[in-house]
Structure 1
Amino acid sequence: MAHKIEELLHIMARLRDPGKGCPWDLKQDWNSIAPYTIEEAYEVADAIEQGDFDELRSELGDLLFQVVFYARLGEEQGRFDFDGIVDAICEKMIRRHPHVFADSEYEDETALKAAWDAEKSRERQDRNQGSSALEGVALALPALVRADKLQKRAARVGFDWPDAGGAMDKLLEELEEVQQAVEEADAEALKDELGDLLFAAVNIARLLGVDAEQALRRGNSNFESRFHRMENLLRAEGHEDPASLSLKQLENAWERAKAMEKMET
């Protein structure tokens, strides 16, 4: 039997029932639930990257449950309920897609994106989020994602490199400043310069049409795969403990692992 959203809402209400509910669920509030929401979103992304669609179905359910949990908290406090959440997103999607739900037409995708950005800007002004082009970029976003969004907001007012070449030059400049901070043994300056270096790297990715967060996740995955391959090579050669080897030996095994990987692709 297929379950309906109404049943999930009923389950949530039972879990939060003051008399017969779950003690853990009853203790939760907006702030305590937020970290779980972020975790569930990452698990959805991980299932997609793994191509595991059975797991994706499960993780999407967990993420939906987070929305239902917030809806219940909102209803208990007289702020909003699940129907209100659905109404809000339906109205927003219809408003932001006049080319689908109304008679608006746009010449190309660029014009469509400009209209989308203008509508989002108007919405921010309606919410009194301030006059800055950078207002409303959530602090809780992963740093790479937030850097990308800040750069895109700045680009809307013309504060941007014309192409990735300028951003690459900036990256080299920031790298020199990192080196200077290292030579001067200035720990605080080093933190600032490394932050600027990473920000510049995100800029390059953005201008080249690459999602920096996904690129780094891919880099992490590649490193993990190659490292496991290196460990297997060393074990096959009788080296059970990589820590007992010199850096030169480890680098040699690493390069052989990379070469094997290239041969398989």
Structure 2
Amino acid sequence: MVDFQCKERYGWEDLIEITRLLRGPGGCPWDAEQTHGSIRRNFLEETYEALDAIDRDDAHDMCEELGDVLMQVALHAQMETERGRFTMADVVNGVAQKLVYRHPHVFGGAMAADNSEQVLANWETLKRREKGQRSTADAIEAVPHTLPALWRAEKIQSKTAKAGFNWDTISGALDKLEEEVRELRQAVENSQDPSAPHGIREEAGDVLFIVSKIAQLSGVDPEDALHRACDKFDARFRLVEEAADKPLTACTEEELVRLWESAKKKLS
């Protein structure tokens, strides 16, 4: 067996072998006990940490976090190797085949592409053909339900827009937003009704869905827009908390509004 402690630099095959050893006899009890389900959250967390490093353009952290994502891939592939269903080699082979198939303009094929827009159009056509999607409804159904809700909404709306189901101008979407807000207000005002929670949830969802569409029509990523809004709120709230001379629970609504407006001015 290779003495992995003595190696100065590791390669792809080393990662696969280390993962096998960790889950094998005499390996790590924790790694051996894990299942796809038990480390599902880890995969998600590592992915978000990698995205955070990318957003910060931190090369050191990016390198480390991308490695952590690869570790998750290796673990899941090793679990399937043990079950005899597929190996890491199959994973690599599958994605390589996909890249070649969906880039006929590079690797030879009937579909030409002179610009990025045509590349994306070809990619979508080949993807639908590959997955047997005969309609836009099939393509929508294939959008993962595990995506963050705003992201899922954006992907669904993008697919329906390509099929021609779209507003000609953003004003139509804004009118729809006003309609949905009125319905949400009505649901809230009727909150004494036993069925109100369901009604509020439905109407709030409709508002969020149309806001996502307005962002898309404006060329804005709704997920990114909400992240930025969260960051802005965080910065303003920090100033509010620092400026208050007593617990916020002891402040009147007027005092909170004044503190908030002051924070907005400082950060504008």
Distance 1:198 1:70 in 2: 35
Distance 1:47 1:110 in 2: 28
Query: What amino acid does structure 2 have at the position aligned with 1:117?
Result: E
What is the TM-score when the length of structure 1 is the normalising length? 0.89
Partner of 1:116: 123
Cα shift readout 1:93-149 (whole Å, capped 9, x = no counterpart)? 1211222222643354433322121111111108x9997232311111111111111
Alignment of 1:8 with 2:15, yes or no, is yes
Q: 1:75 Cα deviation (Å)? A: 0.8
Q: Distance in 2 between matches of 1:77 and 1:230?
A: 55
Secondary structure in structure 2 of the residue aligned to 1:21? coil
Please state if 1:50 is matched with 2:56. yes
| 1:199 to 2:199 alignment | no
5+ residue gaps, structure 1: none
Q: State the 1:13 CA deviation.
A: 0.8
**1:12–1:72 CA contact under 8 A, matched in 2:** yes
Greater CA drift, 96-105 or 180-189 = 96-105
1:230 equivalent in structure 2: 240
Cα offsets for 1:1-48 (capped at 9, x unmatched): 32211221122111111x212222222212222222112111112223
1:145 aligns with one of 140, 151, 172:
151
The CA distance in 1 between the partners of 2:144 and 2:75, in whole Å, is: 21
Equivalent residue in structure 2 for 1:159, among 144, 160, 165: 165
Aligned pairs for 1:1-265 (under 5 A) are 1-17=8-24, 19-102=25-108, 104-125=111-132, 132-185=138-191, 186-234=196-244, 239-262=245-268
Tell me, yes or no, if the aligned pair for 1:167 and 1:203 is still in contact at 8 Å. yes
Distance change >3 Å, CA 145–CA 102, structure 1 → 2: same
Could you tell me the percent identity over the aligned residues?
38
RMSD: 2.1
- Conserved? CA contact 1:99–1:106, under 8 Å: yes
Equivalent residues, number: 256
TM-score by length of 2: 0.88
Q: Counterpart of 1:204 in structure 2: which amino acid?
A: I
- Which moved further from structure 2: 100-109 or 252-261? 100-109
Equivalent-residue separation in structure 2 for 1:13 and 1:73 (angstroms): 9
Query: Residue 209 of structure 1: CA displacement?
Result: 1.5
Whether the aligned pair in 2 keeps the contact of 1:181 and 1:189 (CA below 8 Å) is yes
- Counterpart of 2:5 in structure 1 is none
SS of equivalent to 1:148: helix
Which consecutive unaligned segments of at least 5 residues does structure 2 have?
1-7
What displacement does 1:204 show?
A: 1.0
CA contact (8 A) 1:124 1:136 kept: no
Whole-Å separation in 1 of the counterparts to 2:149 and 2:163: 22
